[in-house]
Structure 1
Amino acid sequence: MITVEEAKAHCRIEHDAEDGLVSSLIAAAFRQIENRTGQAFEKVDGAEMVLDALPSGTGGIELKWTPVRAVNQVVYLDPLGGEQTLSAGDLSLDGRGVYPVLYPAAEWPASKSQRASVKVTADIGHAELPADVRAAALLIVGHLYENREAVVIGTIATDLPMGVELLLAPYVIHRMG
């Protein structure tokens, strides 16, 4: 992530009066980047994904995040309703696709099929923020700081040819359908 100090230096802010605003602009910039690219750039340890049942056999579970640094555990209800846990050692993560797929070491155990009976916990996000994503985030923060209203009157504006879209293009996951 970007610190408030980095964003203030980028925006040439020399006082602390707007630190709260700058912090919220950083969060907004990363939400925009994550929505635009379909990737998680903020490191989150212990992100959760809920399912209604485990697959049968050896099929995989496509995780909703990319990238996934590690899968911590899968907690599920067995057919009798008892809570069971599969640890990281019982699981295999295939990160070759756009969204990583989680497989069992052997095969999935039987699980109760009911709403929210399975919870996958994982550490997600890039281990280090790529330099081009950092630059795009700072451009967005600077734009939001300078333009605090939805409409700017009396100006002519143009997108920078080497701006945010160009910087984020390698990270965009194109969706079908």
Structure 2
Amino acid sequence: MITVEEAKAHCRIEHGAEDGLITSLIAAAFRHIENRTGQTFDKVDNAEMVLDALPAGSAAIELQWTPVRAIQGLVYLDPQGGEQTLSAADLSLDVRGVYPMLYPVNEWPESKVQRASVKVTADIGYTELPADVRAAALLIIGHLYENREAVVIGTIATDLPMGVELLLAPYVIHRVG
């Protein structure tokens, strides 16, 4: 999503001695952004969500990620313990809510009730990183690069009026409960 070269340009680093550090700061920035917003910004193909059973009838399965680009399929154990597959054509994805909902085209088949007896596979995350999220990530990377300790002594610090929180605000999913 953000390359080492982009982060180095933002931090005005002209050498390669700290490429490993920059790589870890990029990862840390994205984990912070994803935790803060509740969204997945890193593009991940074939992410898996595990359930203990399929719902009854045509009830929805609330997916744990947002956004979901595509559903690849669903694998479940039937009541006899045999592995069965539902393809993307057998499933309907509703992305209108905060978290996408997965429905069967008809009704869910009966499944075995057992730990991890159902696996949903999906492609998740943004195909292209939004510009404001990119700017927030670069601000976080720059801050972590310049401030390598938990406490800075002898300086007065203030948040930028148009800093990270403002840039991420449109993407935050507010959690209740």
**Interval of TM-score (by shorter of Structure 1 and Structure 2):** over 0.9
Please tell me whether residue 110 in structure 1 is matched to residue 93 in structure 2: no
The 5-angstrom pairing of residues 147-166 of structure 1 reads 147-166=147-166
Q: Which residue in the other structure is 1:146 paired with?
A: 146
Paired with 1:95 and 1:16, the residues of 2 have a C-alpha distance of: 42
Q: Which residue in the other structure is 1:131 paired with?
A: 131
Paired with 2:167 and 2:101, the residues of 1 have a C-alpha distance of: 27
Paired with 2:116 and 2:164, the residues of 1 have a C-alpha distance of: 38
SS at match of 2:70: strand
Paired with 1:104 and 1:127, the residues of 2 have a C-alpha distance of: 25
Which residue identity does 2:31 align to in structure 1?
A: R
Deviation string 1:40-63 (CA, Å, 9 cap, x unpaired) is 000000111000000010011000
**Structure 2 residue ranges without an equivalent (≥5):** none
Paired with 1:26 and 1:64, the residues of 2 have a C-alpha distance of: 23
SS at match of 2:103: strand
Paired with 2:159 and 2:77, the residues of 1 have a C-alpha distance of: 52
Which residue identity does 1:18 align to in structure 2?
A: E
Q: Which residue in the other structure is 1:38 paired with?
A: 38
Under a length normalisation based on structure 2, what TM-score does the superposition of the two structures give?
Answer: 0.99
Paired with 1:85 and 1:46, the residues of 2 have a C-alpha distance of: 15
Paired with 1:141 and 1:100, the residues of 2 have a C-alpha distance of: 30
Paired with 2:46 and 2:165, the residues of 1 have a C-alpha distance of: 30
Q: Which residue in the other structure is 2:79 paired with?
A: 79
Q: Which residue in the other structure is 2:172 paired with?
A: 172
Please tell me whether residue 22 in structure 1 is matched to residue 19 in structure 2: no
Paired with 2:48 and 2:39, the residues of 1 have a C-alpha distance of: 16
Under a length normalisation based on structure 1, what TM-score does the superposition of the two structures give?
Answer: 0.99
Q: Give the % identical residues.
A: 84
**Superposed displacement of residue 18, structure 1:** 0.3
Q: Which residue in the other structure is 1:100 paired with?
A: 100
**Superposed displacement of residue 127, structure 1:** 1.1
Deviation string 1:114-171 (CA, Å, 9 cap, x unpaired) is 1110000100001110000000000000000000000000000000000000000000
Paired with 1:86 and 1:17, the residues of 2 have a C-alpha distance of: 49
SS at match of 1:55: coil
Deviation string 1:63-104 (CA, Å, 9 cap, x unpaired) is 000000001010000000000000101000000000000000
Paired with 1:44 and 1:53, the residues of 2 have a C-alpha distance of: 24
- Alignment: residue pair count: 177
